[in-house]
Structure 1
Amino acid sequence: MRFVYSFLICTILFSSEVLAQKNILRGKISDENGNPVQGASILLNGTVRGVQSDLKGNYELKDFPSGTYELIVSLVGFQNWSQEFSIEEGETKELDISLVEDEYLLSEFSVSASRGIRGQDRLPEVSDFRINAGKKNEVIRIAEIDANLAMNNSRQVFGRTPGISIWENDGSGIQLGVASRGLSPNRSWEFNVRMNGYDITPDPMGYPEAYFTPPLEVVEQIEIIRGASSLQYGPQFGGLMNFVLRKPDKSTRFTAESINTVGSNGLFSSFNYIGGTEGKWNYTAYYQKRRGDGWRENGFFNTDHAHLEVNYAASNRLKLGYEMTYMTTETQQPGGLPDSQFAENSQQSTRSRNWFNTPWFIPAFSAEYLVSPNTKLSWKAFGTFAERNSVGFMRPINQEDDLGNRQVDRDYYTTYGSELRLSSTYELFGQEQTLMTGLRYFNGNIDRNQRGVGTTGSDMDFSVTDGDFSRKLDYTNRNIAAFAENVFRFNDQFLLTAGLRVENIRSENQGQFNVINGVPQILEPISRSRNFVLFGLGAEYHLGKSTEFYANFSQAYRPVLIS
């Protein structure tokens, strides 16, 4: 219901804004031969306003104040185009634009980006309030690879990314298990896993397991920055993995898409998407339903995903955004097999009563403000309200299910956090330099209930027969951090990066560990504070447009996990 109410509120606000449109700038983007150019980025320089050209090359910018502006048009493979224009209140201005082809790759916010094999790319030196220069990073462009997106097939998506190990522990594609640097891929817990730049795991410091993975049909790209990302994102050894979802279509008021897939083992997947831009507003929403029986016995799964994003240009300098994501899963777990049974039939299962469920709700607010042409601010506030529920026969796999009472474990996650980032450019050594600073606050609480005596049934029932759990623990992590990193460019080929991060973590643990002979075993409350200062250095040397050398040194530490 929270999702429905938020959607209705956003719809009302959107509708009221449409009734108050002002001036309009429109035109057509074409190449030197007069052919329409689709997907060109049209930006009012020094503002947060921008659109894209549609299939016919047409564009339209609405509802921005009268005045004099510089219009910038860019697209990979073409030279940047810019022109100053003036517009009066209530005026409709026509401006057609012809782009000239160029081999140098450009984009709205980046100077250059290097291309690799199909579907693989590298992040630009500076982008989206972060510094990527001098760091090992990859971009997986989902639309450019051949993969089974309906099933979130991780091996097909990550298989061509060097150094990534993949662990597929179920056939549903619900939980992603990848890692780098030889670390454990278990639920991707060695990565700082984010979506659109904000946390989506239960607790990055205490319980970073990725129970939630967005449907890859709506993911535009996956960004991976190895361990050197610790200065900007935190100390996880594996680095950062960020899922970037498709942004609202800036070329049309409304677009809709539906992808429906059927397959073997009872697979059915339905992905439905809408998006568009109208004046100061843009929006996107999707819903995915996926279910199937899995390739093993007792491998049933049923998932629902929903997401809504709405952005509003409050002024030429300020853009506000709201996102919310909801997921719920119903997964039967067939369990492991001894070697003898696996050799006999790898598809068999001796666990028919084991179930797993993860309701997940993630709201997020964002704001971007252009302080000046060289300085901009970004603020994100986010939360996670989620559960991890399991019920089943939990003994070793060489023991046969006795069909007695099952064990019930339930976790409740309540987390919220905020990040403030500032990006500033200045001139030094005759080159443009970039300074990135940020502050972070995070508070995560885990209410853990384990070893409950469940029913003797075989369905997904998390009720406890005696009404309580023998283990009831409460974990809290509070994290405050600040970082600063700078890119020093000495010429067009050589640059250095240097920075530091200050971390403060306070962890608390209390509760009941067990019940022995009817007597609760209460833990002595534990509280621990830790302070760290992390340093990092990086270097990058460009031999050409597509070849570079880089090296970096950074510090990190492994957080104390509650797993």
Structure 2
Amino acid sequence: MLQKFIKYFALSCALSGTVMAQEANKAEATPKENKKKEADTSSEVKNAQDAADAPIESERVIVTGEIIPDGGQILTGSSKRVDNEDIRKHSYSDINRILYQVPGVNIREEDGYGLFPNISMRGVNSHRSAKITLMEDGITAAPAPYSAPDAYYAPNAGRMDSIEVIKGSGSVQYGPHTTGGVINYVSTPVPTEGETFYWKQLFGSDNDIKTHMYYGDVYDLEAGKLSLLFEGYYRENDGFQDIQHSDRNTGINHQIEPMLKLRFEPKTSKYQYLELKVGYTDMEGNLSYNGLKREDFNSNPNDRYWGTQWDHMDTEAVRTYLKHYIELSNDVSLTNTLYYNRFKRNWHKVKGDPGTDVLRGTAPGEIRLKNNNRDYYQVGLQSEVDWNFDTAGIEHDLKVGTRLHTDKYDDNSWSDYYQTGGNYDVIGYRENEKGSDGNKDYHTDSVALFVQDAIKLTDKLTLTPGVRFEHIRYDYNNDTVGKEDDGKSDVDIWAPSLGFAYDFNEEYQLFGGIHKGFSVVGPPDAVIGAKYESSVNYELGLRYNQIDGKYGAEAVVFFSELEDIYDPDSQASGATESRTIGDGETYGLELSAYADAGRINNWGFSNPWTAAFTWTQSEVTDVNDNLTDTGSFYDGVKDGSDTPYIPEFQYNIGTGLHFSKWGTDVNMTFVDEMFVSAENTTKTDSHVVVDWSAYYKVNNNARVLFNVYNLFDEEYEAAHHPTDIRGGSPRLFYAGFEYKF
């Protein structure tokens, strides 16, 4: 397979018609944008000199429809970028807290730290974020996005530079899960000029230690310009939960994440660069699937049962890519990215229900702990051509992208059994043979192609038609004793789109679009003929941005028709087998606004305000016949059932005061009550969580930081899955410093 990738990589570099997917290229700007503004009259010598002196790519707005307070290009669609400052002002490492700032995104919290997010966009099922495409730097980030899309993994938001949420017709550029949308984690970029150093150190509740550091520099060499970035992230804590009658902690034992980025820009007549990224993660924690029964939750929502004291997760991940970008002319660029990601984990956790008193340690019995020992990898090459041209006086920005991808999931699981005596004691132990609970592998190959053209029909109107095609080949093999099975299958998916933007003037824009979304199923279900989940999605929005960037607002209505809603076999949802539920629909309203009262009124200090509001209706409209209960949160579904874990209302409001030496910020999130199953009988609490932050500048490079999460110590039910009731994190305090030059 590697030989195929190398051959394909060489062919892509030779042919200007193939090129990398826009995903990774979006996260950074290229000198091409600046060069297009220059006159086209320079000599070949001057072109060569310009290429040699061209600056390294600087950060640019890449997401469709971002509200940009400091100016910049507004593009079509309703997508949003949460930038570096929005993340760091509260020192967020929890992706849930970051995404609450984005309208149209719903969250089912699970562990209290955002390690295992369950993300929904526009009302689709939030289960393990499987209905959206997760990316890091434009590379699919789920460990095996085709073979095991609902694997427990997400990039660490605490080390990110920004987060991009892509909704609307722009999703056609991505796959293989877009019934919800796309989230791209953007890691720390290499420096654009000169030496840079960053160090954030925080100490917090439950002995929490968070360290984030990086160092970068730029070197002018005879052959070209070399940029480098070394980054490190470290975290550990004891956890905010307490295990009954045990002194074992419930937190993150360690989270170690080094990264290296290198970029080389040779002195050639055409601007180009090579960029290498190598990242690594080693994370261990005493994390559990189990929540609490009602009476125990009401007594202390931060308790954990005695029988979960052996729950432990051990993970290891590698993230790499090699990217080559070249400007073939002032109007054509070509990018190729070869990538390889690997993720290994063993989650040793309680399996099944041994009985509440057995878990409490007050009754004799047997506790089964399953070692979910799994290994995932993905490797691929994605390419994109970006071509700007005119036809009959009409401007085009044509993007053509391809991706050759393979991923694999190997399962080698087994169980341990603890015999308990009923007095918080263990009287026996046995361990099954490795692989006895799971000895299987899933393997998926895919070839994807997308074409999208932004056609500027007039000075005011731009149409953006596009289409994505995916050919997927599945291979499934199960050697688990008593479950032997194998098979192969193929599927082709077409996903068209059409977006538009109409600029009334420099401040007002009407935008909208229609596109097909899809979410593929895993190999075992594909082999037996299960159809992939699909959707037809509509949006219409109006955007206002005041020219000076002092205030702005956006309103979007959306509607989606879902077909073949897929409910996978998963312990996290309780399902013991996969099935197709039926059809559904979601619709709603998204509002966002920003304003800086200090700038508007010339107060001499900054007083920013932001707001994000979402109203969502999501339901199953046409349930398939003869559905049997599988333990899933879709059990009891009927026509008209509300989708589990989708609140009707959700909003986020933030404000701050910033002076020359100090500043403070407050962020408030309201989440409405949510049904926990499609039976629609039980709901979580509605709740309000307030975060507060402050800083004091020691000098231009250093500042002291203070953070409080859940300021008023709101106790609330975050979810009733994976098992029983789970609470959100309690009030947490942090203090530390940030230093940068």
Normalising by the residue count of structure 1, what TM-score does the alignment of the two structures yield?
Answer: 0.73
* Structure-2 residue corresponding to 1:195: 136
Structure 1 segments unaligned to the other structure (5+ residues) = 1-40, 49-64, 72-84, 88-92, 94-106, 126-132
Task: Note closer, same or farther for the CA distance 1:155–1:231 as it changes in structure 2 (3 Å cut).
Answer: closer
Q: CA deviation at 1:205?
A: 2.1
Q: CA deviation at 1:349?
A: 0.5
Task: Note closer, same or farther for the CA distance 1:271–1:108 as it changes in structure 2 (3 Å cut).
Answer: closer
Match status 1:326 vs 2:280: yes
Match status 1:116 vs 2:67: yes
1:333 alignment partner, SS class: coil
RMSD (CA atoms)? 3.4
Distance 1:360 1:194 in 2: 15
Deviations 1:156-196 (CA, angstroms, capped at 9, x unpaired): 31222111112221133333332211123333222211111
Q: CA deviation at 1:272?
A: 1.4
Deviations 1:258-306 (CA, angstroms, capped at 9, x unpaired): 1111011111111111112112111112111101122112422121111
Distance 1:112 1:183 in 2: 21
* Structure-2 residue corresponding to 1:393: 350
Task: Note closer, same or farther for the CA distance 1:243–1:552 as it changes in structure 2 (3 Å cut).
Answer: same
Task: Note closer, same or farther for the CA distance 1:471–1:376 as it changes in structure 2 (3 Å cut).
Answer: same
* Structure-2 residue corresponding to 1:82: none
Equivalent positions of 1:201-280 (< 5 A) are 201-209=142-150, 211-226=152-167, 228-236=169-177, 237-252=179-194, 254-279=195-220, 280=225
* Structure-1 residue corresponding to 2:513: 552
Match status 1:299 vs 2:244: no
Distance 2:164 2:372 in 1: 33
* Structure-2 residue corresponding to 1:139: 81
* Preserved CA contact (<8 Å) 2:64 2:170: no
* Structure-2 residue corresponding to 1:59: none
Q: CA deviation at 1:476?
A: 0.6
2:235 alignment partner, SS class: strand
Equivalent positions of 1:440-459 (< 5 A) are 440-453=403-416
1:419 alignment partner, SS class: strand
* Structure-2 residue corresponding to 1:20: none
Match status 1:68 vs 2:46: yes
* Structure-1 residue corresponding to 2:383: 420
1:293 alignment partner, SS class: coil
* Preserved CA contact (<8 Å) 1:299 1:333: yes
Match status 1:499 vs 2:477: no
Task: Note closer, same or farther for the CA distance 1:117–1:404 as it changes in structure 2 (3 Å cut).
Answer: same
Equivalent positions of 1:145-164 (< 5 A) are 148-149=90-91, 152-164=93-105
Match status 1:475 vs 2:442: yes
Distance 1:341 1:122 in 2: 52
1:363 alignment partner, SS class: strand
* Preserved CA contact (<8 Å) 2:376 2:410: yes
Most deviating of 549-558 and 474-483: 549-558
Q: CA deviation at 1:324?
A: 1.1
Residue type at the aligned position of 1:509: Y
* Preserved CA contact (<8 Å) 1:488 1:495: yes
Residue type at the aligned position of 2:339: F
* Structure-1 residue corresponding to 2:111: 170
1:553 alignment partner, SS class: strand
Relative contact order (C-alpha < 8 Å, sep 6+): which is higher?
2
1:532 to 493, 497, 504: 493
Task: Note closer, same or farther for the CA distance 1:200–1:114 as it changes in structure 2 (3 Å cut).
Answer: closer
Q: Among the aligned pairs, what percent are the same residue?
A: 19
Q: CA deviation at 1:541?
A: 0.7
Distance 2:30 2:176 in 1: 38
* Structure-1 residue corresponding to 2:484: 522
Most deviating of 381-390 and 405-414: 405-414
Structure 2 segments unaligned to the other structure (5+ residues) = 1-28, 37-42, 243-248, 360-364, 524-569, 571-741
Q: CA deviation at 1:425?
A: 0.4
- How many residue pairs match? The answer is 456
* Preserved CA contact (<8 Å) 1:46 1:370: no
Residue type at the aligned position of 1:444: D
Most deviating of 230-239 and 333-342: 230-239
Residue type at the aligned position of 1:285: F
* Structure-1 residue corresponding to 2:397: 434
Distance 2:64 2:149 in 1: 31
* Preserved CA contact (<8 Å) 2:462 2:500: yes
2:372 to 409, 422, 437: 409
Distance 2:33 2:513 in 1: 34
* Preserved CA contact (<8 Å) 1:285 1:306: yes
Task: Note closer, same or farther for the CA distance 1:244–1:355 as it changes in structure 2 (3 Å cut).
Answer: same
Match status 1:289 vs 2:289: no
Q: CA deviation at 1:44?
A: 8.6
* Preserved CA contact (<8 Å) 1:166 1:177: yes
Q: CA deviation at 1:495?
A: 0.8
Deviations 1:300-346 (CA, angstroms, capped at 9, x unpaired): 21211111110111334321111011111111124211111101111
Distance 2:431 2:35 in 1: 56
Q: CA deviation at 1:488?
A: 1.0
Distance 2:164 2:207 in 1: 32
